[in-house]
Amino acid sequence: MSEIDAEAELPAPSDGLARALHRFRQSRLSVVGAAMVAVVLFFAVFGQQLAPYPEQVAGAVDTTARFLPPSMAHPFGTNELGQDVLSLTMAGTAVSVLAGFGVVLIGSLVGTLVGAIAGFAGGWVDEVLMRLTDLTLTIPSLILAMAIAAALGPGFQNMVIAISVSWWPGYARLVRGEVLAAREEVYVTAARALGAIPGRVLFRHILPNCVSPIIVKMSLDMGFAILTVAGLGFIGIGVRPPTPEWGAQLAVAQAYMPNDWWTAMAPGMAMFLAVFGFNLLGDGLRDILDPKGRR
């Protein structure tokens, strides 16, 4: 770290990337996770078009074909309205993934902002923001999300907002820690000495260094966000019908067990596999991008 030019201190991207890719391929689990996530994303984009009964995804019903057990025509059977469970589940991927991503994105943006300001400003600003962060952490997040979602009423946006409200403190703490550490590093001191304004130091020098841990946390959080979205749907405060959603599907299916158990299998398994994929990928990414975070 003898060079004065602060820009040069950033990790050389090409070299780091190559090493990371190499390590990534070494870890078979993360490759599996990446593959699963790719499948999930594929269904999130094309699930609705590829569904065998696309008109049912939009709400069409076939009340003469209710509760058909799994068959060639309906690999996961039909539900209480004669809709193809596989079609609904495929189409439901979009809501879960989008909502999960929305939550993680909002949470990370807000959290990063709060954490960066707290860490960089220090003093009473830091104190106030971090107390607020700690406070939000003590409120049971699911109950908070449920209360807000119930207050706002069902709907995609409302659900995302409700969950995001309790999602940012983790990022705030993470980023604040990184900022505090980075602030002391030589290149920042140097940049300051060269007369760089604080905002520029924050955005050009400090935040880029926080990107890796944030991305790792985001990928690990994706799975949990999807779980929370499904949880709200399960309790009945998720999206509106006819939009298919895994948690809501499962909630309805619960009433038909054990006789018509198949209505629960496709949405439940889809939920598990999607979350599993994101967690495997996140676990792998952590080993590569954020070796410090490895326990």
Partner 1 sequence: MLKFILRRLLLLIPVIIGLTVIMFAIARLLPGDPVGLAAGPNATPQERAELAHEFGLDQPVWAQYATYVTGLAHGDLGRSLLTRRPVAADIAAYLPATLELVLTAMLIAVLIGVPLGLLTAMWRNRWPDYLSQVLAIGAISMPRFFLGLLMQLVFAMWLAWLPLGGQLPIVAFPPPHVTGFITIDALLAGNLDTFMVALRHLAMPAIALSLSPLATIMRMMRASTIEVMGQDYVMTARALGLPARKIIMKVIGRNAVSATLTVIGLYFGWLLGGTVLVETVFDWPGLGLYATKAIISQDMMPVIGVALVIGLIFVFANLVIDLAYGIINPKVRYG
Partner 2 sequence: MSEIFPRLSRRDLLGLAGAGLAAASFPAPLFAQGAGKVLIIASGQDIPNFDPHTSTGYSASFMMRNVYDPLVRVSGNPPEPVPALAESWQVSDDGKQYVFKLNPAAKFHSGQPVTAADVIYSFTRALKLAKGNAWMIRDIVTPEGMSAPDAGTVKFTLATPFAAFLQVLPWIFVAEKAAVEAHLGKDQGQSWLMTNIAGSGPFTVSRFQVGTLYQLARAKTAWQPGGGNLEGVIWQIVRETATQRLKLQRGEAHIAVDLTAEDMDALKGAPGVVRVIEPEYRTFSIKMNTAYGPMMDLNLRLAVSYAMNYQAMIQATRYADLMVGPLPQGILGQDPNLVVPRMDVAKAKEYMAKTAKPEGGFKLKMVYVSGLEQERRWALVLLDSLKALNIGLDIQPLNWPDVVASAAKPQTMADFFPVYQTANYGDPDNIAYAAYHSSRNGSWSNPVYHNPEVDKLIEAGRTEIDPKKRVEIYHQFQKVVVADAPDIFGVLERRKLGLRDSVKNYHFTPVASNAIECWPLSLA
* 73 sits near partner 2 (criterion: CB under 8 A): no
21/26 Cα distance (integer angstroms): 9
Residue among 156, 164, 167 at smallest CA distance from 247: 156
- Which of 51-59, 108-116, 131-139, 171-179 is the region at the interface with partner 1 (rule: CB under 8 A)? 131-139
Q: Hey, how many other C-beta atoms are within 10 angstroms of the C-beta on 286? A: 22
Residue 240 DSSP one-character state: P
User: Residue 227 binds which entry of partner 2, partner 1, none, with Cβ cut-offs from 5 to 8 Å by kind?
Assistant: partner 1
User: How deeply is 92 buried, as exposed, middle or buried, from its count of CB atoms within 10 A (0-12, 13-18, 19+)?
Assistant: buried
User: Residue 154 binds which entry of partner 1, partner 2, none, with Cβ cut-offs from 5 to 8 Å by kind?
Assistant: partner 2
* 195 sits near partner 2 (criterion: CB under 8 A): no
Binding residues for partner 2 restricted to 40-59, rule: CB under 8 A: 59
User: Residue 101 binds which entry of partner 2, partner 1, none, with Cβ cut-offs from 5 to 8 Å by kind?
Assistant: none
Binding residues for partner 2 restricted to 114-153, rule: CB under 8 A: 150, 153
Length of the chain: 295
Select the residue interacting with partner 2 from 8, 255, 269, 273 (CB under 8 A): 255
Q: Hey, how many other C-beta atoms are within 10 angstroms of the C-beta on 260? A: 18
70/15 Cα distance (integer angstroms): 51
Residue 153 or 291 having the CB closest to partner 2: 153
38/236 Cα distance (integer angstroms): 29
Select the residue interacting with partner 1 from 138, 195, 197, 292 (CB under 8 A): 138
Chain residues that interact with partner 2, rule: CB under 8 A:
59-61, 63-64, 66-67, 80-81, 150, 153-155, 236-237, 240-242, 252, 254-260
